[in-house]
Amino acid sequence: MKITFLGTHGQFNIGDELLLETFLAQLGKEHHYAVNSYDPDFTRQALQPQFSVETFHTTGELRRFLHHLLTSDLLVFGGGSIIKELYASVGRNPYSTLAMILATVTFTKLLARKKVIMSNIGVGPLMTPFGHFLARVILNQVDFLSVRDDQSLDTCLRIGLNPARVRRVPDAVFANAPQVFISEALTIHPHGKLHVALNLNYDIENRAAWEGFLENLAEALRSWNQQQGLVLHALPMQSKFKKNDDLTVLKDFLRRLPEIDQIIHDPQTAQEAAGILAGCDLVLAERLHTLVIASILGKPFFGLVYDVKVRELVEYLGMTDYSLDINQPFSAETLHAGLVRMEQNRTPVQIHLLARSRALRAELSAYFAELRAKFISA
């Protein structure tokens, strides 16, 4: 088959590129894919020769995009927060993403007459009646819909979708076994200082809370360092493409903590990021797929909840006691206590995460087998 696959690609976001690779592997390496990207050369080189793929620019090659929709057998949106209004902090029209997806889906259904799949996606935030209307029109045209969290499912039902048309499944990245990321065991640090992978993301729901969050995070890490002795491993999941990328934010933040040992990494692939995670003792992170990879590797984490998808993930994994909503006021002492609690319970948390991720991997194996049987043939 020829499959057009759409998502947020070519923005040098490790989580988005990992989602893309995961979906293509699950849909089948025997197919030919047309994939959108903000950097088509980068995306094509990352996927070849593992996949048969051609790429086109997300916004700059409309004619090629329409050609792919007309000549493909199937349109697939895979993973990510697809159906959403944009936060004001993004600086774009809040309905721009919804409008683009509505045009794409309507063209595919009415003119190209092809089926549309949205798999393992996030739905929301939808904050206005007009946003609800656009989302409802889009989703009612989709032939198969699955969402990755309970709030997305609740949102679909609230805007009027038939419950029989939507199902809840885990984030697609959980389909990967640890061996996808790590080929051999890496050295950890049973003695001496505690090595902590730190990941930050500027795009939180409540931008007004950002500076207070950083101040309390810095104070909590100072206290933890005085008690335990730390080495902080800066782990950006996006180090290019946009202002306030993870690498920039992490470098700026770590200047507040000159007394703590620091190592700044710049991974370019999920495997490189996983290697850093595997070599650390604990993980302190905002990014969803940092936490997902840590779970797959059985690496104890403390989740810094910056939006709904991370909130849903930590609840789904049973890790609420090892998380904190950074959009709400909190004290450095509260965060410090949570970090110490995670450190003291490292072994049971590791066992819990490995068991939970194995169960999710089995669930996704059955799910993707069903999806292939229903919609995809060689």
pLDDT tens by residue, 84-128: 988 665 667 889 999 999 999 999 999 999 999 999 999 988 999
230 contacts 193 by C-beta, under 8 angstroms: yes
Among 69-78, 183-192, 214-223, the minimum mean pLDDT is found in: 183-192
- Average pLDDT of the segment spanning 213-241: 95
Percentage of residues of the chain with pLDDT beyond 70: 96
Q: Is the pLDDT of residue 220 over 60?
A: yes
Q: What distance in Å separates the CA atoms of residue 221 and residue 231, rounded to the nearest whole number?
A: 10
The domain made up of 179-358 has a fold known as Rossmann fold (3.40.50)
pLDDT, residue 314, reads 96
pLDDT, residue 26, reads 96
Q: What distance in Å separates the CA atoms of residue 247 and residue 41, rounded to the nearest whole number?
A: 23
The domain made up of 2-175+360-375 has a fold known as Rossmann fold (3.40.50)
**Each residue's pLDDT tens digit, 335-360:** 999 999 999 999 999 999 999 999 99
Mean pLDDT of all residues in the chain?
93
pLDDT, residue 376, reads 86
pLDDT, residue 205, reads 87
**Each residue's pLDDT tens digit, 280-335:** 999 999 999 999 999 999 999 999 999 888 999 999 999 999 999 999 999 999 99
- The type of residue at 58 is T
Higher pLDDT, 87 or 170: 170
Q: Which value, in Å, is the radius of gyration of the alpha carbons in the chain?
A: 21
State the distance between the two ends of the chain, measured CA to CA, in whole angstroms. 6
* 65: its two tokens: 């995009």
Instruction: Indicate where the chain has its CATH 3.40.50.2000 domain(s).
Output: 179-358
Instruction: Indicate where the chain has its CATH 3.40.50.11720 domain(s).
Output: 2-175+360-375
pLDDT, residue 194, reads 95
pLDDT, residue 80, reads 84
**Each residue's pLDDT tens digit, 23-52:** 999 999 999 999 999 999 999 999 999 999
DSSP sequence for 208-245: GGHHHHHHHHHHHHHHHHHHH-EEEEE--SB-SSSTT-
295 contacts 301 by C-beta, under 8 angstroms: yes
Q: What distance in Å separates the CA atoms of residue 202 and residue 239, rounded to the nearest whole number?
A: 12
pLDDT, residue 242, reads 83
130 contacts 95 by C-beta, under 8 angstroms: yes
pLDDT, residue 185, reads 53
The angle at the Cα of 227, spanning 224 to 290, to the nearest 5 degrees, equals: 30
